[in-house]
């Protein structure tokens, strides 16, 4: 029996599959996708077998539901008979934003063990932030889940009522970080830097700044103040960002994403 199977090989599903294959032998990872060619391309890259959704649901101990929230009901409706026929233990793992574990159980037609986790795309590079919660899962199974995803990045257990908020910070956040890197690079180009160098400098700066926050234990505001010399260039840039509503815009982006996530969960 395959250890873990993926139903869905889109951006997030493939990111997690890549990380899992650094921990488990590829032959223990089964890939399925509604467009088989996508699963086959990822399988060729990772050395995994492919199958259809029904085979994943029938054979895998861990079933990763890497499908969009609006598609989840249809996918699980088709798998209900397969799941109900199983005599062995299995765990459903959902990445769907907004859908609670109780809702996943309802869609699947049984009170099956569920892990709900919210990774982000940097998980494919081992630099992800992954929040998770579970129901009906033993401590040993939770440890195994964390072991399988250990090469994806940092994992943090959270109560389910905080998962949506967390995913809007670290799950949506990479898109805004990329916007920031692009904007910094644009500024560098406007000042005369070649595009490739400006982009490299901006990306490495953001990476290093994140490491400073994580490893120093200092408040981001304190670290910001340390860069701002009296009468210097940086404080003038900070002043300009404040005038343009930089922090308010970022906060509003998180709240907008949170509201949308809650809306998707009602479907």
Any binding-site annotation on 68? yes
Any binding-site annotation on 69? yes
CA angle 50, 55, 61 (to 5 degrees): 95
Integer CA distances (angstroms), 149 to 15, 21, 32, 41, in order: 11, 9, 19, 21
Any binding-site annotation on 11? yes
Integer CA distances (angstroms), 143 to 154, 157, 191, in order: 14, 11, 50
Rounded to the nearest 10 degrees, the angle between the axes of helix 220-227 and helix 195-216 is 130
Place of tokens 């996708």: 33
Any binding-site annotation on 260? no
Any binding-site annotation on 12? yes
Any binding-site annotation on 53? yes
Partner residues linked to 64 by β-bridges: 6, 93
Any binding-site annotation on 33? no
Annotated binding residues for NADPH, written as ranges, equal: 53
Annotated binding residues, written as ranges, equal: 7-12, 53, 66-69
Annotated binding residues for NADP(+), written as ranges, equal: 7-12, 66-69
């Amino acid at each position: 029996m395959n250890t873990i199977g993926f139903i869905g090989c889109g951006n997030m599903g493939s990111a997690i599959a890549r990380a899992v294959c650094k921990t488990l032998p590829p032959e223990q990872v089964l890939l399925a996708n509604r467009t088989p060619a996508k699963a086959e391309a990822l399988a060729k890259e990772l050395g995994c077998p492919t199958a259809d959704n029904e085979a994943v649901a029938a054979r895998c101990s861990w079933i990763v539901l890497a499908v969009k929230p609006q598609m989840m009901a249809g996918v699980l409706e088709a798998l209900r008979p397969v799941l109900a026929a199983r005599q062995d233990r299995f765990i459903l793992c959902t990445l769907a934003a907004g859908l609670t574990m109780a809702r996943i159980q309802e869609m699947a037609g049984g009170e099956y063990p569920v892990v709900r986790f919210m990774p982000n795309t940097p998980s494919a590079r081992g630099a992800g932030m992954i929040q998770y919660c579970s129901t009906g899962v033993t401590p040993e199974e939770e440890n195994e889940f964390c072991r399988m995803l250990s090469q994806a990045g940092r994992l943090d257990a959270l109560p389910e009522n905080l998962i949506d908020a967390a995913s809007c910070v670290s799950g949506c956040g990479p898109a805004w970080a990329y916007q920031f890197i692009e904007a910094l690079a644009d500024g560098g180009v406007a000042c005369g830097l070649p595009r490739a160098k400006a982009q490299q400098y901006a990306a490495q700066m953001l990476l290093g700044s994140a490491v400073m926050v994580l490893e120093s234990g200092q408040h981001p505001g304190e670290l910001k103040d340390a860069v701002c010399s009296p009468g210097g260039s940086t404080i003038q840039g900070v002043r300009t960002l404040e005038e343009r509503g930089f922090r308010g815009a970022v906060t509003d982006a998180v709240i907008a994403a949170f509201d949308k996530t809650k809306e998707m969960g009602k479907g």
